[in-house]
Amino acid sequence: MDVTNHCAPQINCMNYSKLLSFFLLWMPFLACTKTAPMDGPSTQGKGIVRTVGQPIGNLVEKEIGPAGGSIHSEDGRISIEIPAGALNTDVRLAVEPITRTLVDGVENTSLPAFRLLPHGQTFSKPVKINFHFSENEFKTIISNVTKIAYQANDGKWKGIPSSQVDMNTKKVSVNTTHFSDWTVYEGIYLEPTENVSVEINKSVTLKVMVMTPLTLSSGQSDQQEVYLDEPSEIPASVDWRIVGGSNSGTIANLPSRPAANYTAPGSIPTPNPVEVEAKIHLSTQGDLNILKNITILEPIEPGIHLRINGGAWIHFTDTDSFADNESYVASDGNYPYDVHEISLRIAGGRARGRGSWAWDDQPESENSTSFEYIVKKPGPYTSYKHLYTKNNFDIWHVSPGAVRITEYKADQYGQVWATGDFTIESSTPFIEGHSGTPPSAKIVGNFKLKVK
């Protein structure tokens, strides 16, 4: 069985052909199988039981028999090739997009996940699962040693090593003899995984993370599958450096850890963003170079600031304090006060410090992380949330993206401030009086708020 797939933006590799060979060598070290025995040599790591993903899109069905055939998802992100002789009789197969419950980087909830039906369907011959990517996505996949995983019957996710990487068609493929829930994950990645921005003279901690408990310094070529645990810092030596450009800040390793602190310069550098390289030393596989872009910003003014689809910045400077990590704002600070309003809620007020939280949709839960921006004047009344829909206002999906607190500390007067940013990749607005479904928008923003 096999699998491999997607990865986060802003991380690029230096030499794709060299890294491709490394990628293929590394596959056995971040492996996994299907609903195989859990006590065999292929199940190193205990794994963590995860919830089952929920449907978030249209089901595609197709009847395929002994002659074989193919089926793909509505968006074309995944396709399955069934060879002749894999089925003994006609079977109605299906592909359905689902929420991704594998936990790695917070924003990786946006990576593709699919349910292949009938669940548990087996084949006499291996079928091929293909994940398809754009040019930019494909480069990111190669650089991050991305893998494919499936959710076993015990609720644990398992990673699979064997895969075929097609540089021409921009796809990663694996062979399997069963159907279940499938997704992709980053075998090695830099944290924070999302876009990184730092104010001048401020710092950010970067860490190299790994998704398996394997000891990278020793070969484990007999490993076919691996249970996926919580991500942890990679057990390997890492060298850090700033790539190109002078006066681009400083970076220093944290003692005895595969992590480093990057400190931005005192003014906006050229070029911007700054490129930082992590060179990971794997004793049996050689070196792996991963790059991260860090955008340097002017200091964030107090309040909440956002922009929609790259438009002009919208500022809320007359804000409430970040009581319980919530901020509800009823105006932009100018009369009249009913022009627009915004609300931002992080982990139901339980987030007290630096961290990253994906958006969620738990209307009955006190733990929700949510956003809403409402335009009142000039009309029409328009509401943007952290949700999107596809031609059906009865069915909503949680947008990819996250909100981060990048700094949480007291100033010289003892007042604690929470500083951070947020991204909503897809927000379908409700527009009063609008017929049909409006196009979805991308919303980005930042904030600096007092903490009560």
- Tell me the mean pLDDT in the region 23-29: 37
Distances in whole angstroms, Cα of residue 351 to Cα of each of 106, 204, 345, 373, 404: 14, 18, 10, 21, 10
Q: Is there a contact between 7 and 141 (Cβ–Cβ < 8 Å)?
A: yes
Beta bridge partners of 62: 93
Average pLDDT, the chain: 79
Report the pLDDT averaged over residues 349-366: 72
pLDDT at residue number 381: 93
State yes or no: pLDDT of 384 exceeds 90: yes
Residues listed for the chain: 452
pLDDT digits (tens, 9 = 90+) for 202-241: 999 999 988 765 443 333 444 577 888 888 899 889 999 9
Cα(first)–Cα(last) distance of the chain, in Å? 53
**Lowest-confidence segment of 304-313, 337-346, 371-380, 415-424 by average pLDDT:** 337-346
Residue 246 one-letter amino acid = S
Question: What topology does CATH give the domain 11-189?
Answer: Chondroitinase Ac; Chain A, domain 3 (2.60.220)
Cα distance between residue 187 and residue 226, in whole Å: 11
Quickly count: other Cβ atoms within 10 Å of residue 267's Cβ: 11
**Which tokens sit at 284?**
């049996």
d(CA 304, CA 326) in angstroms, rounded, equals 12
Q: Across residues 428-450, what is the average pLDDT?
A: 91
The confidence score (pLDDT) of residue 221 equals 40
pTM of the predicted model, to two decimals?
Answer: 0.65
Tokens coding 437: 């479904």
Q: Give the pLDDT of residue 216.
A: 38
- What is the domain partition of the chain in residue ranges? 11-189, 191-210+233-297, 303-450
CB 113 within 8 A of CB 98: yes
Sheet holding 113-117: strands in order across? Answer: 60-64, 91-97, 113-117, 181-186, 146-151, 157-160, 226-227
DSSP string, 44-98: BS---B-PPP-B-S--EEEEE-TT-EEEE-TTSSEEEEE-TTS-SS-EEEEEEEB
Residue 396 · residue 359 · CB < 8 Å: no
Chain centroid to Cα 429, Å, comes to: 23
- Mean pLDDT to the nearest integer, 287-303: 88
CB-neighbour burial class of residue 351 (10 A; exposed 0-12, middle 13-18, buried 19+) = buried
Distance CA 427, CA 398 (A): 9
pLDDT of residue 320: 63
Pick the CATH number of 191-210+233-297 from 3.40.50.300, 1.10.3720.10, 3.40.50.2300, 2.60.40.10: 2.60.40.10
What is the average per-residue pLDDT within 324-337?
56
Contact of 411 with 417, CB cutoff 8 Å: yes
Peptide bond between residue 213 and the one before it cis (omega within 30 degrees of 0): no
Q: Which residues contact 312 (CB under 8 A, 6 or more apart)?
A: none
26 versus 433: which is more confidently predicted? Answer: 433
